[in-house]
Amino acid sequence: MPGTYYMPGVNLIHRGALNDAGTWARNLGGHNALIVASTGSYGAQQGQMVAAVLARSGIESTIYAGAGPNPTDEMVMQGVQLYKGSHCDFLVAIGGGSAMDCAKGIGLIVSNGGTIGQYGDGVDQATHDLPPFMAINTTAGTGSEVTSVAVITQAEHHHKTTIMDWRLTPDVSINDPELMLSMPPALTAATGMDALSHAIEAYVSTVATALTDALAHSSIALVFQWLPIAYEQGSNIGAREGMCHAAFLAGLAFNNSGLGYVHALSHPVSGKYGLPHGVVNAVLLPTVMRWNAALAGTKMARIAVAMGAGHPWRTDRENADKAISAVIDLNRRLQMPSGLSKMGVEEADIPQLADAALQELAGTTNPHKAASVEQIQQLYRQSL
């Protein structure tokens, strides 16, 4: 169970944590921030909100509301130009995974030069530290505020580059549940099920450790305690705070133990059909859990206990079945689609999707390996 652990040095999770951003910016030695936010008026508003907080600590800033969904290398390069042109000396991301990944890309190029494509092959390709970097999360799910990973699409080839580098890890992460009160139910459900997928995949990963197990187990329990309430009562601050912790713990877990077939099968589907990552994960999760229970039965049984669905007097197999049923029930309560076909996925596309899934790095730590591409195809068919 060898472990090498990556995580931000400072992590704030509490109501009003955004107000501490100025203090931590000063602690990082920043004077002039590039604030990276999502595109559109909503991103601009979030950027202005952060700029106002930083200004109270005497810190100047420039807002770049240019991180679209699936951020591209072009968006990164525009941010790099703005960072340099405005003489910025640190980075603040506000938003979900897209804004944070875009900010990671900007920091990488600002400090190391070159193009995004140069950093996608292999791990830890950067040779210089990024500028000081604070990540402020507004969705409880992706975990990007704590991870050393960024996914950037190369616009010219429509190719997603996954950059894994310990230097991408933010210095400070902020999860403020007050920023999540306005998340609509569908986004709450999708990001929450993404977090649950991270936790379950991290828990049964082939390189899980005592630390990632503890993180993932607690995350699973918190999702089952708080996600239905956050979905049904969006203004419940306690539920939002619970989901902040759940997603944060799951992010730390998978950043250090990898993922599995849920993410390996999900990426080609969301890429081809433009479907929300968390929703595709939610649909695939019961099928992949059933497949993995064959070789990770004891851990799947412990997952049932974390969910509040398992009992010690049952066999591992019985408890694993309870865990799978609990996920199916949660999907139903969150009004997730009952299958991939309901989202427009065509059976004729499955061979192509399965070929792509086998290439996904996320699958390398799945406990039950497919012996052939036909077995991956079968998992897709079982999820239709």
Which residue's CB comes closest to Fe ion?
194
> In the bound complex, what is the minimum distance in angstroms from residue 190's beta carbon to Fe ion?
10
The answer to whether 146 and 100 are in contact (CB under 8 A) is no
Two structure tokens written together for 272: 């081809």
> Per CB under 5 A, which of residues 35..64 are in contact with Fe ion?
none
Task: Specify the residue, 59 or 282, whose C-beta has the smaller distance to Fe ion.
Answer: 282
> In the bound complex, what is the minimum distance in angstroms from residue 197's beta carbon to Fe ion?
6
> In the bound complex, what is the minimum distance in angstroms from residue 361's beta carbon to Fe ion?
13
Distance (Å, whole) CA 245 – CA 222: 8
Task: Specify the residue, 25 or 264, whose C-beta has the smaller distance to Fe ion.
Answer: 264
> In the bound complex, what is the minimum distance in angstroms from residue 13's beta carbon to Fe ion?
19
Task: Specify the residue, 67 or 200, whose C-beta has the smaller distance to Fe ion.
Answer: 200
Task: Specify the residue, 33 or 275, whose C-beta has the smaller distance to Fe ion.
Answer: 275
> In the bound complex, what is the minimum distance in angstroms from residue 142's beta carbon to Fe ion?
6
> In the bound complex, what is the minimum distance in angstroms from residue 383's beta carbon to Fe ion?
16
Task: Specify the residue, 20 or 194, whose C-beta has the smaller distance to Fe ion.
Answer: 194
Distance (Å, whole) CA 313 – CA 46: 50
Distance (Å, whole) CA 289 – CA 324: 7
Distance (Å, whole) CA 291 – CA 284: 11
Two structure tokens written together for 171: 């210095």
Q: In what order do the strands lie in the sheet with 90-95?
A: 10-13, 172-175, 133-137, 90-95, 32-38, 60-67
> Per CB under 5 A, which of residues 293..322 are in contact with Fe ion?
none
**Residue 9 backbone phi and psi in degrees, to 5:** -75, -35
Strand, coil or helix: 11:
strand
Task: Specify the residue, 59 or 222, whose C-beta has the smaller distance to Fe ion.
Answer: 222
Task: Specify the residue, 73 or 194, whose C-beta has the smaller distance to Fe ion.
Answer: 194
Interface with Fe ion (CB under 5 A), residue total: 1
The answer to whether 177 and 244 are in contact (CB under 8 A) is yes
Task: Specify the residue, 72 or 281, whose C-beta has the smaller distance to Fe ion.
Answer: 281
Distance (Å, whole) CA 151 – CA 174: 20
> In the bound complex, what is the minimum distance in angstroms from residue 292's beta carbon to Fe ion?
17
Task: Specify the residue, 262 or 305, whose C-beta has the smaller distance to Fe ion.
Answer: 262
Q: Which residue has 């969910």 as its token pair?
A: 307
Buried b or exposed e, range 219-235, using 16+ CB within 10 angstroms: bbbbbbebbbebbeebe
C-alpha dist (Å) from residue 262 to 175, 359, 379 = 25, 13, 10
User: Is 145 among the residues that bind Fe ion (CB under 5 A)?
Assistant: no
> In the bound complex, what is the minimum distance in angstroms from residue 169's beta carbon to Fe ion?
17
C-alpha dist (Å) from residue 303 to 76, 116, 253, 310 = 39, 38, 14, 8
Q: How many residues does the chain have?
A: 384
Distance (Å, whole) CA 272 – CA 266: 10
Task: Specify the residue, 171 or 194, whose C-beta has the smaller distance to Fe ion.
Answer: 194
> In the bound complex, what is the minimum distance in angstroms from residue 84's beta carbon to Fe ion?
32
Window 163-202: contact mask with Fe ion (x via CB under 5 A): -------------------------------x--------
Strand, coil or helix: 59:
coil
> In the bound complex, what is the minimum distance in angstroms from residue 89's beta carbon to Fe ion?
32
The answer to whether 211 and 48 are in contact (CB under 8 A) is no
Distance (Å, whole) CA 179 – CA 143: 15
**Furthest C-alpha separation in the chain:** 65
Residues engaged in binding Fe ion (CB under 5 A)? 194
